Amino acid sequence: MDDLRDKYISLIANAGDEAALEDLRVQAVGKKGEISLAMRELGKMSAEERQAAGPRLNALKDEINSALAAKKEALGDAALDERLRGEWLDVTLPARGRRQGTIHPISQVTEEVTAIFADMGFAVAEGPQIESDWYNFDALNIPGHHPARAEMDTFYTHRGEGDERPPHVLRTHTSPVQIRAMQDQGAPIRVIAPGRVYRADYDMTHTPMFHQIEGLAIDRDISMANLKWVLEEFVKAFFEVDDVELRFRASHFPFTEPSAEVDIRCSWEGGTLKVGEGDDWLEILGSGMVHPKVLEAGNIDPNEWQGFAFGMGIDRIAMLKYGIPDLRAFFDSDLRWLRHYGFAALDVPTLRGGLSR
């Protein structure tokens, strides 16, 4: 009995956690525990022996039970102390002060442009940035051998060895969204598609990732005159000028016929850009009447429907509107730059938010 006592008292003292302690309890005083088994032996003893052994066994059982209880409480306290240490929190630390984030000018300008076109009845359409070469090129009337593919400095994805399928591309413009929108919605249609595009190019006015906004309007009797009016309304609203002179320069894109690049009259006098006056012209977008083959790729019958499309550089017009000289800074994530050119984080970016600065 003394051996049993010494064994369990020391085992209990050394138990590391409540689970180990519970195992010991079962081993010692559980139904089939050593002490319970010893108590069953009492039946085989003589009455005298039983009178001596019985109370001693009972006392031993009580002693072990209270050792278990005491240890359990100690372990519980230790666990609580440990938790309190881990979850300690200095509630006297000051909250973060004025160091709020800002809305990036690209996000701001995207919202402004979207608001202006939404006002004219254009909905927002989207497409993937990793695009099949059919959507990015073929469907837009740019066949495999066409020089425009090389001119665009396309990023191609990797195909496994022996995989003969044409690689996917990082879309080089937002024009593939024209095809996707026509396939999804049919005609008539009025959509804009803002988003990221990619070309391998890097200098003051080019970054490998930049942003465009595509416009597409298809109906039964849409003409270049509608395109011109829409773009004039847009430029007046965006640059906040009452009058603006646009210059449509004949150009060429495989997916429009006829095609025009659009410049706006401006002045750079004193190093600041003024839109709507002066002797300079600034190119802001490419546009034209959607090519019949492009309508066909979008499952729209070119004998019934026609329309215009344009593609504008968002970063470009953001630089112009907010006087940002170097495009690369847009994507450097320099906190000082972001605080200077960013928009207040708690103001939802809207057209009005941009205009009042």
Query: For binding to ligand PHE (CB under 6 A), which residues are involved?
Result: 173, 175, 253, 256, 286-288, 309-311
- The nearest distance, CB 333 to ligand PHE, in angstroms, is 26
Q: Toward ligand PHE, which CB reaches closer, 102 or 256?
A: 256
Q: Which residue is at the shortest CB distance from ligand PHE?
A: 311
Pairing of strands 189-198, 123-124: parallel
Contact 354, 112 (CB under 8 A): yes
Please give the C-alpha separations between residue 102 and each of 167, 180, 194, 337, in angstroms, as whole numbers.
38, 33, 21, 10
- The nearest distance, CB 144 to ligand PHE, in angstroms, is 18
Q: Toward ligand PHE, which CB reaches closer, 310 or 330?
A: 310
Q: What percentage of the chain's residues is helix, strand, coil (to nearest 5)?
A: 45, 20, 35
Q: Toward ligand PHE, which CB reaches closer, 137 or 253?
A: 253
Q: Toward ligand PHE, which CB reaches closer, 286 or 349?
A: 286
- The nearest distance, CB 157 to ligand PHE, in angstroms, is 20
Q: Is 257 annotated as a binding residue?
A: yes
Q: Toward ligand PHE, which CB reaches closer, 256 or 306?
A: 256
Pairing of strands 130-131, 169-170: antiparallel
Contact 166, 182 (CB under 8 A): no
- The nearest distance, CB 143 to ligand PHE, in angstroms, is 16
How many CA atoms lie less than 13 Å away from 166 in the CB half-sphere? Answer: 14
- The nearest distance, CB 323 to ligand PHE, in angstroms, is 24
Q: Toward ligand PHE, which CB reaches closer, 105 or 288?
A: 288
**Which tokens in the block code for residue 97?**
């002060």
Burial class (CB within 10 angstroms; exposed 0-12, middle 13-18, buried 19+) of 148: middle
DSSP letter (8 states) at residue 15: -
Q: Toward ligand PHE, which CB reaches closer, 94 or 147?
A: 147
DSSP letter (8 states) at residue 220: S
- The nearest distance, CB 272 to ligand PHE, in angstroms, is 27
Alpha-helix runs per DSSP H in the chain: 2-14, 18-29, 34-41, 47-86, 105-119, 133-136, 147-151, 176-185, 224-239, 292-297, 314-322, 335-341, 351-355
- String of DSSP letters for 280-310: EEEEEEEEEEEPHHHHHHTT--TTT-EEEEE
- The nearest distance, CB 356 to ligand PHE, in angstroms, is 31
Contact 199, 152 (CB under 8 A): yes
Residues of each annotated binding site: 257
Residues of each annotated binding site for Mg(2+): 257
